[in-house]
């Protein structure tokens, strides 16, 4: 039973992180430039 509870908690944390990354990407905040220079300060190639 403990393994199931820990698995659900880990799954919830991973889902929260992925949702946060998707939300940030839609708002133009990402680790990568993505080729849109207005979002990365003009450092695109």
Domains of the chain, by residue range, sit at 2-40
What mean pLDDT is predicted for residues 14-34? Answer: 79
Helices within the chain (DSSP H only) = 2-26, 37-40
Cα angle at 9 between 3 and 17, to 5 degrees? 140
* pLDDT band, residue 19 (cuts 50/70/90): very high
pLDDT reported for residue 40 = 61
pLDDT reported for residue 28 = 67
Cα angle at 31 between 25 and 34, to 5 degrees? 65
The structure's pTM equals 0.60
d(CA 12, CA 39): 30
């Amino acid at each position: 039973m403990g393994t199931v509870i820990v698995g659900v908690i880990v799954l919830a944390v991973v889902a929260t992180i992925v949702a946060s990354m998707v939300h940030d990407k839609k708002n133009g905040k990402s680790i990568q430039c993505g080729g849109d220079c207005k979002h990365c300060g003009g450092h695109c190639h």
